[in-house]
A and B are shown apart, each in its own frame.
Chain A
Amino acid sequence: MAETILIKNGRVIDPANNLDTISDILIEGGKIAKIGKNITAEASQYIDASNKIVLPGIVDMHVHLREPGREDKETIDSGSRAALKGGVTSVLAMPNTEPAIDSIQSIGILKEIIKRSAKIDVFISAAITLGRQGNQLVDMKALKDSGAIAITDDGASVEDEAIMYETLKMAKKEGLLVIAHCEDRELSAGGMVNAGFTATRMGLRGISKESEYLRVKRDIAIAEKANARLHIAHISCAESVEIIAKAKKRGAQVTCETAPHYFSLTEEAVLGYDTNMKMNPPLRGSSDRLAIVQGLSDGVIDAIASDHAPHTDNEKEIEFERAEFGVIGLETILAVSITELLVKGALDWSGLAEKLALNPARILGIDKGTLGIGRSADITIVLPQEEWLVEKKGFVSQSKNSPYIGKRLKGKVAYTIYSGMIAYSGISKNQAQEH
């Protein structure tokens, strides 16, 4: 049963409608009914949003929910609860599950689980090739008809250029977004951390920036040849930003995302062999981090996505070389973005809402990411000044592999409203009374 909710006096940010103003929002029947000053209405719930920021619900376009197959790492239930805690109301689930989402059958299984246990909107991406093996293309039309909105072999790059070309052409025809994980395995094989001094002093094989940006360059070239749209996942280095900037300038239909760890952390963080700092692509140098921040503020980088990659302690509390790549991010994506980008002046609230909600929604072609009248009421209300300590025991996600454990972040989710219901409240009774 959808309620009537009246949000009072929040600073409402909606870049789609060029809105940044103190305003009220009335939610009725799960939809945004009214935005304006001094709305009076009979509501079942009132939210005092004074001194708070009211954002469109976050759209995280790169999330590994692990279900089906690796329910020990995460489930759609636990993952969506983690999302709500982080202010995320829509996600794009990555297809590298077990089995991979590469057929009508597996998509059917996934849809069944989503229907049963998702607490947010879980959008589906399918694999590009069967079993993500890079050899045989999936039946794009069938997968699209079954509900996939994007295709990706994330975790691996499509090695064969001809297959990539075919992929882009067919995906264009079917209206599917192609998301490229750009990594040349020939160059990165056995790599653990950023190549160069870091890898040398740690005694590990390096993952060079070339292995990323040369593939970014190749995939863009193929997309241009196919006259197709391409989205590049999790870029981590300055060269990738530069290549994408040039491609955009000459009119290529390319978009890209980065992840919070690439604009908040550098390779220095990995020196203590903390496996929660191990991800692919790896943390890069400080000039790369600055290039990512710059790319976000000047618009080359369209979106921020968490690349939420849960792994169990068994897979992380082992020798660095043997530990899995990846970190969780749903519960920290907003706070890290506020701490590193907003507080430091790289983005304002509208810019942040663009990267976290509006742009990913547009790239995915979904009706999300804005607070327009009549839209589904997915809203994240933030306490912008609240500082909190990230603790392992505080995570809702089934896995705890966060690189931010022990760090203080600014900005806390007060309420997450999904489809017109208060789905998460991060506000204590005391705080509620204070305002």
Chain B
Amino acid sequence: MAWIRKDLLGLEDLSREEIELILTTAESFKEISTREIKKVPALRGKTVVNLFYEPSTRTRVSFEVAAKRLSADVINIATETSSVRKGETLIDTGKNIQALKADIIVVRHNCSGAATMLARHLDISVVNAGDGWHEHPTQALLDIFTLKEKFGRIAGLKVSIVGDIAHSRVARSNIWGLTKLGAEVTVCAPKMLIPEGIEKMGARVTYDIDEALKEAEAVNVLRMQFERDEKAAFPQQLEYFKQYGITTQRLKKAKKKIIVMHPGPINRGIEISSEIADGENSVILEQVTNGIAVRMGVLFLVAQARDNNGGNHTD
């Protein structure tokens, strides 16, 4: 099948085949990062703009590395350094970037739906690097990629996602992506952090961490952000670690070969113990490596979809 979308906004919109195409494309890209010259000319002459309205080093750097390994030129715009603070609207900023003849905007925004809105108003490609609590498709894709690498399959895989599901775009994208590929997803958190209707996305809900870990072949541990505004509706930090933290003690009751994932940055001792984060079940650093391949695949696919205009090649 061929990729025809100019944008990647979320995994909810994608078909199983489209997700699989991204994964197989990413597989081919992974080898490039192992070469001595880690660069191919696929996006030579293209310009990728990282438009980040939220501080994020790792996602931004990952996209930047991915774009550069495809030979694209990369421009980073962060809120601190742009006209964004002078009150320019998101659409105006996007149109200005388009007028600079950029080809792809990678956008991170604290408002849900920001990437969707931008894509609707622009002709150039938009890749969602996280919008509010809505979706973070490339993170989920790299999580799924890592699982597929480890297990050779996604269908039937038992994956638990633990943490602040309510405010997590990583959780949402993972649920959409994993369930489309046939995985059995369980979400686990204190009740106040489970959003209403999440089971309609295809996930099973449990409030009991031991139950979530019992059958799981992989656990994705979300970052807990206790600095959020709704303090009243949050559990106490220590209490959370005691009840939901992923520790050696707790994993003793899980499958021996359970894979532990985390989208980073890790809060050691808050949602995960150092021992586990650095232990043999952890694939956290492999996720980072795979993130490059997945983002290379995504950038490549949206770029070639946008200026696909037919032609033939028989050599």
Interface residues of A (CB under 8 A from B): 195-204, 206, 272-273, 314, 317-322
Q: Which of A204, A317, A319 has the most CB of B within 10 A?
A: A319
Q: Are A320 and B113 in contact (CB under 8 A)?
A: yes
B108 within 8 A of A: no
Query: Closest Cβ of chain A: how far from B137's Cβ, in Å?
Result: 13
B114 within 8 A of A: yes
- Residues of B in contact (CB 8 Å), total 26
Q: Are B109 and A319 in contact (CB under 8 A)?
A: yes
- Chain B window 81-122, contacts with chain A (Cβ cutoff 8 Å), 1 for yes, 0 for no: 000000001110000000000000000010111101100110
A318 neighbours in B (Cβ, 8 Å) = 89-91
Q: Are B90 and A204 in contact (CB under 8 A)?
A: no
When C-beta atoms are compared, the residue in chain A nearest to B12 turns out to be A201
- Report which of A206, A273, A317, A320 forms a contact with B196, defined as CB distance below 8 A: A206
Q: Which 8 pairs from chain A and chain B are nearest by CB?
A: A197-B197, A203-B134, A273-B113, A203-B133, A203-B112, A319-B111, A200-B195, A320-B113
Query: Closest Cβ of chain A: how far from B96's Cβ, in Å?
Result: 15
- Report which of A195, A197, A314, A317 forms a contact with B200, defined as CB distance below 8 A: A197
User: In the complex the two chains form, what is the Cα distance from A320 to B133 in whole Å?
Assistant: 13
Give 9 new A-B contacts, CB below 8 A, not counting A200-B196, A314-B89.
A200-B201, A201-B201, A203-B112, A203-B135, A203-B169, A204-B132, A272-B120, A317-B89, A321-B112
Q: Are A202 and B134 in contact (CB under 8 A)?
A: yes
- A201-B172 contact given A206-B196, A320-B111, CB 8 Å threshold: yes
B131 within 8 A of A: yes
B251 within 8 A of A: no
A203 neighbours in B (Cβ, 8 Å) = 112-113, 131-135, 169, 172
User: In the complex the two chains form, what is the Cα distance from A204 to B114 in whole Å?
Assistant: 12
Q: Which of B111, B114, B201 has the most CB of A within 10 A?
A: B111
B32 within 8 A of A: no
Q: Are A200 and B198 in contact (CB under 8 A)?
A: yes
Q: Are A200 and B113 in contact (CB under 8 A)?
A: no
Q: Are B91 and A202 in contact (CB under 8 A)?
A: no
User: In the complex the two chains form, what is the Cα distance from A206 to B169 in whole Å?
Assistant: 16
How many A-B contacts are there with CB distance less than 8 Å?
A: 69
User: In the complex the two chains form, what is the Cα distance from A322 to B87 in whole Å?
Assistant: 13
Query: Closest Cβ of chain A: how far from B228's Cβ, in Å?
Result: 12
User: In the complex the two chains form, what is the Cα distance from A233 to B121 in whole Å?
Assistant: 35
Q: Are B111 and A321 in contact (CB under 8 A)?
A: yes
A-B contact pairs, 29 of them (CB 8 A): A195-B196, A196-B197, A197-B200, A197-B201, A200-B197, A200-B198, A200-B201, A201-B197, A202-B134, A203-B112, A203-B113, A203-B131, A203-B132, A203-B134, A203-B172, A204-B112, A206-B196, A272-B116, A273-B113, A273-B116, A273-B117, A318-B90, A318-B91, A319-B114, A320-B114, A320-B117, A321-B112, A321-B113, A322-B111
Q: Which of A199, A201, A206, A318 has the most CB of B within 10 A?
A: A201
Q: Which of A196, A203, A204 has the most CB of B within 10 A?
A: A203
- Report which of B90, B91, B114, B196 forms a contact with A196, defined as CB distance below 8 A: B196
When C-beta atoms are compared, the residue in chain A nearest to B111 turns out to be A319
Query: Closest Cβ of chain B: how far from A27's Cβ, in Å?
Result: 48
- A202-B201 contact given A318-B90, A319-B90, CB 8 Å threshold: no
A199 neighbours in B (Cβ, 8 Å) = 195-197
Query: Closest Cβ of chain A: how far from B251's Cβ, in Å?
Result: 29
- Chain B window 167-189, contacts with chain A (Cβ cutoff 8 Å), 1 for yes, 0 for no: 00100100000000000000000
Q: Are B196 and A319 in contact (CB under 8 A)?
A: no
B90 neighbours in A (Cβ, 8 Å) = 318-319
User: In the complex the two chains form, what is the Cα distance from A273 to B115 in whole Å?
Assistant: 10
Q: Are B112 and A202 in contact (CB under 8 A)?
A: yes
B120 neighbours in A (Cβ, 8 Å) = 272
Query: Closest Cβ of chain B: how far from A427's Cβ, in Å?
Result: 36
When C-beta atoms are compared, the residue in chain A nearest to B194 turns out to be A200
Residues 288-307 (chain B) with a chain A CB within 8 angstroms = none
User: In the complex the two chains form, what is the Cα distance from A198 to B12 in whole Å?
Assistant: 13
Query: Closest Cβ of chain A: how far from B171's Cβ, in Å?
Result: 10
- Chain B window 129-168, contacts with chain A (Cβ cutoff 8 Å), 1 for yes, 0 for no: 0011111000000000000000000000000000000000
User: In the complex the two chains form, what is the Cα distance from A318 to B90 in whole Å?
Assistant: 7
User: In the complex the two chains form, what is the Cα distance from A320 to B90 in whole Å?
Assistant: 11
Q: Which of B89, B113, B117, B135 has the most CB of A within 10 A?
A: B113
Q: Are A320 and B195 in contact (CB under 8 A)?
A: no
When C-beta atoms are compared, the residue in chain A nearest to B132 turns out to be A203
Q: Which of B111, B112, B131, B195 has the most CB of A within 10 A?
A: B112
Query: Closest Cβ of chain A: how far from B208's Cβ, in Å?
Result: 21
Query: Closest Cβ of chain B: how far from A120's Cβ, in Å?
Result: 35
Query: Closest Cβ of chain A: how far from B136's Cβ, in Å?
Result: 10
User: In the complex the two chains form, what is the Cα distance from A199 to B172 in whole Å?
Assistant: 12
A322 neighbours in B (Cβ, 8 Å) = 111
Query: Closest Cβ of chain B: how far from A277's Cβ, in Å?
Result: 11
When C-beta atoms are compared, the residue in chain B nearest to A317 turns out to be B91
